[in-house]
Amino acid sequence: MPIEVRHLTHCYSEGSVLRTVALDDVSFTINDGEFVGIIGHTGSGKSTLVQHLNGLLKPSSGQVLIDGEDLNGEHVNRRALRQRIGLVFQYPEYQLFEESVEKDIAFGPKNQKLSPEEIAERVRYAMDCVHLDYDKYAARSPFELSGGQMRRVAIAGVLAMKPSILILDEPTAGLDPRGRDKILSMLEELHQREHVTTLMVSHSMDDMARLAGRLLVMSEGKVVADGTPREIFAQEDMMTSIGLDVPEAARLCARLRAKGYDLPADLFRPEELREHLLRLWKEGSAC
Amino acid sequence: MLNNITMGQYYPVDSKVHRLDPRIKLILTIVFIVIVFLAKTFAGYALIFAFVWMVSRIANIPFRMLLRGLKPLRIIIILTFLLNLFFTSGETVWVQFWIIRITKEGFLQAAFYSLRLIFLVLGTSLLTLTTSPVSLSDGIEILLTPLKKIHFPAHELAMMMTIALRFIPTLLEETDKIMKAQMARGADFESGNLISRAKAMVPLLVPLFVSAFRRAGDLAMAMESRCYHGGEGRTRLRVLKITRNDWIACAVVALLLALIILEGIFL
């Protein structure tokens, strides 16, 4: 299910003094199986954009086409489409409500009107995806888990619907490094194993450097850059001018280059930087 | 989705009425309510209407805004009108068929009582439209201070009001967010019969309560870590002062009161 966004514009409080343009003529296409990162400063329109992608917000003008079908068209079953596009909100653990982890994860499949056996199977599948042990956690109350575990339960609640497109809004915000690492490796695994089209909104350039195959950079409601992380992170000046960082490794690399070290301009992963540095060190070609 | 609650909403412009002392405004509003009940004739109501209109002009509040406060009460007003219209006995019969009987007296009384309700709402809306919730609860706190002698928790009550008002927009936003999150998981809040709709509220209400309790805990912690310990010995950031305008406002309302009392005696 490719997603195509055509000239999407969204204004909040249309027709009043408080009118603000959150999205301004945004267009892009996302193909099957891609892992796309959406980055941008606070208030750049990222969250507004992802809410359009499953029809929770209606565009002021423009279209969102899922599989060639207009999401806001007249004869579209939005609820059915919504279940094929899994959206994980910011701080999704605040949406948990059931008395047990199992019941909470089953909420989505139940709304899909699946059979009880199918639902039970889906719950096991989703808990497996987020690395939560079924026997240990299924019967526990979601409110007595740790923050990171609650978040994984909430993500499992979306995965249980087996969406063909998974959208995550800041899935690692507010987690400790370990919780963050777990979520990221879980997403990586899911993308590699199931080829789910994944869109991830994040502030963290290091998360993006690790996962995304393509980046959309947003600023003031517009997509200002669209390309591979390698292309994007090489443009440190552009990124700083819109208030964003580049990954630690890319910044270190740029500084070393400025001092005259012979390094390629487009390094952004810690591992590849280490490799190049080791090579330089072995050659003994420090200046 | 959820932000059209107008009754008692502050209208943030600057005017002489906005700058009046909240204590004075509160007292004058109470006096106004008494005036509305004292008025015995339509002439008196004309006078009261002129007063309300004048205040709204001075306060720079469009009269339309003021009328919007009536909307939530329209059913009560209409009901009052109809009940009085049909069930008041009188001599001059206008319409009569089957068990329905409308008399001139009934009509006048119906009009009179519904106008009374309307004026009560308009007068109190004037207060809430021109006074920010924070200064309103400040005013209430000071007016209730004498009751502290009989161990009435005036400060705590005002603080609770301020906090409750402060959290209305936050909770609305939260509701909107949780609603969307559950809709993304296929929840349906819009269709179905009454029972299935009530059931559909559970996934919304449980997270909302959980987060409200969490926020309350966080807030209490934040207040205590800044040494909040109730109202005792607490000084204020904004010290309220009575100005010349406050005296003028009192004089105008006193004049209105006098006129209404005279009207009651002579008309």
Structure tokens at B83: 């009940």
Residues A93/A147, Cβ–Cβ less than 8 Å: yes
Structure tokens at A9: 């514009």
Q: Which of A252, A216, A210 is nearest to A231 (CA)?
A: A216
Asked if A12 has any chain B CB less than 8 Å from its own CB, the reply is no
CA distance B128 to A93: 37
DSSP string, chain B: ------TT-------TTTTS-HHHHHHHHHHHHHHHHH--SHHHHHHHHHHHHHHHHHTT--HHHHHHTTGGGHHHHHHHHHHHHHH---SSEEEEETTEEEEHHHHHHHHHHHHHHHHHHHHHHHHHHHS-HHHHHHHHHHHHGGGGGGT--HHHHHHHHHHHHHHHHHHHHHHHHHHHHHHHTT--SSSS-HHHHHHHTHHHHHHHHHHHHHHHHHHHHHHHHTT---STT---SS-----HHHHHHHHHHHHHHHHHHHHHHH-
What is the phi/psi pair of residue B225, to 5°?
-70, -10
CA distance B195 to A246: 52
What is the reported pLDDT for A17?
A: 60
CA distance B105 to B128: 35
Q: pLDDT 10s digit of each residue in chain A, 287 long?
A: 888 999 999 988 776 666 788 898 999 999 999 999 999 888 888 889 999 998 888 898 898 988 888 888 877 777 778 878 899 998 898 889 899 999 999 999 998 889 999 999 999 999 999 999 999 999 999 999 988 899 999 999 999 999 999 999 999 888 888 888 889 999 999 999 988 999 999 888 888 888 889 999 998 889 999 999 888 888 888 888 888 888 888 888 888 888 888 888 788 888 888 888 888 888 875 54
Closest partner residue to B207 among A94, A111, A161, by Cβ? A94
What is the reported pLDDT for A27?
A: 92
The answer on pLDDT for B1 being more than 50 is no
User: Are A95 and B206 within 8 A, CB to CB?
Assistant: no
Task: Give A189's contacts (C-beta < 8 A, 6+ positions apart).
Answer: none
User: Are A86 and B184 within 8 A, CB to CB?
Assistant: yes
Kindly give the pairing relationship between strand A85-88 and strand A165-169.
Answer: parallel
Kindly give the pairing relationship between strand A3-12 and strand A61-66.
Answer: antiparallel
Please list the residues that pair with A36 across neighbouring strands.
A199, A214
Tens-digit pLDDT profile for residues B205-227: 999 999 999 999 999 999 999 98
What is the reported pLDDT for A285?
A: 57
State the pLDDT confidence band at B8, using cuts at 50, 70 and 90: very low
CA distance B67 to B69: 5
Closest partner residue to B186 among A83, A94, A96, by Cβ? A83
Q: Which of A54, A164, A161 is nearest to A114 (CA)?
A: A161
What is the reported pLDDT for B2?
A: 41
User: Are B185 and A92 within 8 A, CB to CB?
Assistant: no
User: Are B177 and A51 within 8 A, CB to CB?
Assistant: no
**Chain B positions touching chain A (beta carbons under 8 Å):** 174, 177-178, 180-188, 202-203, 206-207, 210-211
Q: Would residue A37 be called left, alpha or beta, if left means φ above 0 and alpha means ψ between -120 and 50 degrees?
A: beta
Cα separations in angstroms, B107 against A94, B70, B83, B89, B111? 55, 21, 10, 10, 6
Structure tokens at A37: 């990162």
Centre a 10 Å sphere on the Cβ of residue A268 and count the other Cβ atoms it contains. 23
Closest partner residue to A107 among B178, B185, B210, by Cβ? B185
Residues A82/A55, Cβ–Cβ less than 8 Å: yes
Centre a 10 Å sphere on the Cβ of residue A102 and count the other Cβ atoms it contains. 20
User: In chain B, which residues have their Cβ closer than 8 Å to the Cβ of A84?
Assistant: none
Structure tokens at A181: 């690492």
CA distance A216 to chain B (A): 23
CA distance A71 to A73: 6
Residue with tokens 């079953």: A77
* Max CA pair span of chain A: 69
CA distance B37 to B120: 9
- What's the angle, vertex CA B249, arms to CA B245 and CA B255, rounded to 5? 140
Kindly give the pairing relationship between strand A165-169 and strand A197-202.
Answer: parallel
For A224, the 3-state DSSP assignment is strand
Structure tokens at B31: 């006096």
State the pLDDT confidence band at B6, using cuts at 50, 70 and 90: very low
Report chain B's mean pLDDT, rounded to a whole number. 84
CA distance A4 to B155: 57
- Sign of torsion, CA B141 B142 B143 B147? positive
DSSP A166: E
CA distance A95 to B179: 9
CA distance B112 to B96: 22
Task: Give B223's contacts (C-beta < 8 A, 6+ positions apart).
Answer: none
Tens-digit pLDDT profile for residues B115-155: 999 999 998 888 888 888 778 888 888 888 888 888 888 88
Cα separations in angstroms, B110 against A140, B41, B47, B81, B115? 61, 13, 19, 5, 8
Asked if A255 has any chain B CB less than 8 Å from its own CB, the reply is no
* Residue environment code for A169-205, b if the CB has 16+ CB neighbours within 10 A, otherwise e: bbbbeebeeebbebbbebbeebbeeeebbbbbbbbbb
Closest partner residue to A112 among B178, B186, B203, by Cβ? B186
Tens-digit pLDDT profile for residues B151-186: 888 888 888 888 887 788 888 888 988 998 998 888
CA distance B186 to A109: 8
User: Are B185 and A158 within 8 A, CB to CB?
Assistant: yes
Residue with tokens 């990586």: A188
Q: At what angle do helices A147-159 and A101-111 cross, to 10 degrees?
A: 20
Please list the residues that pair with A225 across neighbouring strands.
A217
ipTM: 0.83
What is the reported pLDDT for B209?
A: 92
Centre a 10 Å sphere on the Cβ of residue A135 and count the other Cβ atoms it contains. 7
CA distance A165 to A149: 23
